[in-house]
Amino acid sequence: MTKVIVAGAAGRMGRRIGYMVHQHGGLALAAGFERADSAEVGKDIGELAGVGALGVAVAGSFEAVAAKGDVVIDFTFHEATMQLARKAAKEQKAMVIGTTGLSAENLAELRELSRNFPCVQSPNMAVGVNVLFKIAKKVAGILGDGYDIEIVEAHHRMKKDAPSGTALKLGEMVAEGVGRNLAEVGVYARHGMIGERTDREIGIQTIRAGDIVGEHTVYYCGAGERLEITHRAHSRDNFARGAALAAAWVVNQPNGLYTMFDVLGLQDL
């Protein structure tokens, strides 16, 4: 059994990750931790995850539980994630990162750190979304420059980063499909007299409202027709289930930085 440590074990995602880890036949929910000042420190991780008492108390730091697990799953906040990745690299502890909002600098550092530990990093762990990434790129390549590409994403009002990491990854994938660089053609807001849309731009627009778990739609709009591809997440369990799959997979890999494409065998599609 692979022993799993859950970062942010008492948070919304942390609890669902704990649940999905417990449901996975090859994983054991060995430990979890929160900030030292969290009111959840000391509570049973199994009860927080909704699987019943496991006799495992939530700790107040990674250091307190580092020796208890083989892999750490982190969906917290980009600054905390990078701090944890540095510690995991030092401990040579495998890691699964689903945190969004990581900067280019963060990802560059993560690639360097992964020389010392195996790590899966993805802006979205859901199986369906990773299939969408591949499909979106292929469709963009098939339709080519004659179609305008727009991406609209919607999330709950508590989400801190915008656009979502998933929307940005979609933007990168469709840009690759038509031979463009998202950093050069991405448009993230439109207001006022902005003039006509250019042929090369790729729009990414954001909605934040209510308790929307996550929705992403890619629009391919041509003369007289449009094609829409949409993924809707109905619960956080999709992300947590993918994280559990990644945790079971990554512990058997050599040091390096991987994505869910590697986990799911989609890399060459």
User: Where are the alpha helices (H) located in the chain, listed in sequence order?
Assistant: 12-23, 45-49, 78-91, 104-113, 127-143, 165-177, 182-185, 237-250, 260-264
For residue 134, indicate whether it is catalytic. no
Which residues are CB-contacts of 223 (< 8 A; sequence separation ≥ 6)?
A: 146
Q: What is the distance between the alpha carbons of residues 134 and 265, in angstroms, rounded to a whole number?
A: 12
Measured distance CA(206)–CA(188) in Å, rounded = 8
234 included as an active-site residue: no
List the one residue out of 16, 117, 42, 109 whose CA is nearest residue 72.
117
CB 202 within 8 A of CB 175: yes
Sheet containing 186-187: which strands, arranged edge to edge?
186-187, 202-208, 148-155, 214-222, 225-233
Instruction: Name the catalytic one among 3, 87, 134, 159.
Output: 159
**From 24, 93, 137, 155, the catalytic residue:** 155
Residues designated catalytic: 155, 159
